[in-house]
Amino acid sequence: MTKPPTARFSDRVEDYVRYRPGYPPEVLDLLRAECGLRPRHIVADIASGTGMFTRLLLENGNSVFAVEPNTEMREMGVRQLEAYKRLVSVAGTAEETTLGSASVDFVTAAQAAHWFDLPRARAEFARILKPEGWCVLIWNERRTESTPFLGDYEQLLLTYGTDYKEVRHERTTAIIHEFFAPALADERVFELRQRFDYEGTAGRLLSSSYAPLEGHPSHAPMMQELERIFRAHATDNMVEFEYNTRVYYGRLGEAS
């Protein structure tokens, strides 16, 4: 049975924290330059997970409502960010944040909007944003063909992933301009890389919600194939993951 989006990462929180990529600091540079982001601004970071993007906002001096529906992810985020006094952890969803109307200057969602009910989320974001507020959607898009290793890794996911083709976030980014319409969204792309030994590569794979875990009939053959492609492509016992970090930002006009 397929888990609902809000529960998909409950059993892989530790791997998520250790092995998922963060976000380039250039993202905040962009938001400062293009959207006027300043430390005084209040941000709602939606589906904040374990707090990877939330941390960048807190380090910028922002007060952040970290809105996360998954209990395990939310509690991990609180532990990861307990030193930051400007954090408010919120049990809520993109469609029902529980935040007040016109209460935030920015709404952000990193590596998450492909799980949202987009029409409902858009209406909720428009409700909680102050006039002239900004909406920012971010994804780390793993490159699938830029190296032989990444090509083989993509084939592994297509072969063994439980619902990989159905949940790939590219299905959402293809229609993201409809989300912002009738306003226009700008897009910027940054590069990001991770280097892993085999343990890290396995952890990176198992942090993904579509990777079958131990006990699933596809788990053992998947891990055997992962080890094979790692050995085939590793240099100095390391392989590299390459990403395009895509940032979409704009104001939400009145829905048509």
Please report the domains of the chain, with CATH numbers, ordered by start residue: 5-143+167-194+242-250 (3.40.50.150)
Q: Mean pLDDT over residues 97-118, rounded? A: 94
pLDDT of residue 14: 76
Q: Does the structure show a pLDDT above 60 at 69?
A: yes
pLDDT of residue 254: 59
Task: Transcribe 100-114 into DSSP letters.
Answer: PTT-EEEEEEES-GG
CB 183 within 8 A of CB 177: no
Q: Is 41 left (phi over 0), alpha (psi -120 to 50) or beta?
A: beta
**Where do the DSSP E strands lie in 171-238?**
186-196
36: how many CB neighbours lie within 10 A of its CB?
A: 12
- pLDDT tens, 124-155? 999 999 999 999 999 999 999 999 999 999 99
Q: Mean pLDDT over residues 184-195, rounded? A: 95
Report the SS3 class of residue 165: helix
Between 101 and 214, name the one with better pLDDT: 101
Q: Does the structure show a pLDDT above 60 at 3?
A: no
Give the chain's mean pLDDT: 90
CB 90 within 8 A of CB 65: yes
CB 154 within 8 A of CB 145: yes
Tokens representing 13?
């929180």
